[in-house]
Amino acid sequence: MDAITKAKKAAGEKAAALVQPGMLVGLGTGSTAYWAIEKIGQMVKEGLNIQAVATSIASEKQALALGIPITSFSEIQQLDLDIDGADEISEEGQLIKGGGGSLLREKIVALASRHRVIVGDERKYVKTLGKFPLPIEVVPFGWELVFKTLQALQGHPTLRTKDDQPYITDNSNYIIDCSFGVIREPEQLHQQLKTLTGVVETGLFLNLKPTVIIAYENGDVKTI
């Protein structure tokens, strides 16, 4: 296992240790949240009694294979703890998410959780957001019009593709990745993008006050 994978595993497992018996837990998506889900699966096998809501079909499959009981918002209203990764984590705890395409469900789950834990390796921790392209989930109908507007807003948009076809999210939408440069006013940008008809959600996760767990290649793990 390389040093970055080790760091992701360390961060994910440290977050999993915060899960207590009886909790309703949000399961994030991506290569870091993966390790938290693995650890929670192990804890469930050892007798931990929890229920979880997954933020993607992939994470739900992983959880079910591990025997983690899955519930949904038709059964519950609020979660106790959400553990998820991020693509960028600013010093103020503001986030860019959606590199793996799961931003919409991730945001729904994060907003439904009383506590949020974000796990990442040291490469994710930045002074200011904006180096990682900002994912924006859009409905497929008329996406070209949103794309043109994003061009006009200097977002340098790119339609995300997979196998030369538009990438399709778990919600049957498309993703447009944008580069606005350094994002000095994330709330303003998020609001501006949300008002565009056809935009479903942006990857800016703001003011969620997460506990941040950063793991370093040298083996250190810091909770911020």
Ligand X SMILES: O=C[C@H](O)[C@H](O)[C@H](O)COP(=O)(O)O
Residues in binding site: 29-32, 84-87, 97-100, 124
> What is the closest distance, in whole angstroms, from the C-beta atom of residue 106 to ligand X in the complex?
5
The DSSP secondary-structure symbol of 95 reads E
Q: Is 100 in the site for ligand X (CB under 6 A)?
A: yes
Site for ligand X, residues 104 to 143, rule: CB under 6 A? 106
CB-wise, 6 or 142, nearer to ligand X? Answer: 6
CA distance 139 to 173: 5
Helix (H, G, I), strand (E, B) or coil at 16: helix
Q: Which stretch binds ligand X (CB under 6 A): 31-39, 63-71, 155-163, 189-197?
A: 31-39
CA distance 26 to 63: 11
Using CB under 6 A, which of 102, 113, 173, 202 touches ligand X? 102
Handedness of CA 206, 209, 211, 212 (dihedral sign): positive
Residue 219 · residue 122 · CB < 8 Å: no
Residue number closest to ligand X, CB atom: 30
The DSSP secondary-structure symbol of 24 reads E
CA distance 210 to 89: 10
Q: Is 97 in the site for ligand X (CB under 6 A)?
A: yes
CA distance 172 to 105: 12
Q: Is 103 in the site for ligand X (CB under 6 A)?
A: yes
Burial 82-109 (b: 16+ CB within 10 A, else e): bbbbbbbbbeebbbbbbbbbbbbbbbbb
> What is the closest distance, in whole angstroms, from the C-beta atom of residue 152 to ligand X in the complex?
26
Question: Tell me, what amino acid is at 173?
Answer: N
Q: Is 25 in the site for ligand X (CB under 6 A)?
A: no
Using CB under 6 A, which of 9, 43, 79, 85 touches ligand X? 85
Number of H helices, E strands in the chain: 6, 16
Residues with a catalytic annotation lie at 106
At 76, list the tokens.
Answer: 């519950």
Could you give the string, one character per residue 151-170, with x where binding to ligand X holds by CB under 6 A and - elsewhere? --------------------
CB-wise, 48 or 215, nearer to ligand X? Answer: 215
Residues that contact ligand X, how many (by CB under 6 A): 18
Q: Is 28 in the site for ligand X (CB under 6 A)?
A: yes
At 87, list the tokens.
Answer: 């693509």
Using CB under 6 A, which of 6, 18, 31, 221 touches ligand X? 31
Q: Which residues bind ligand X (CB under 6 A)?
A: 28-33, 84-87, 97-103, 106
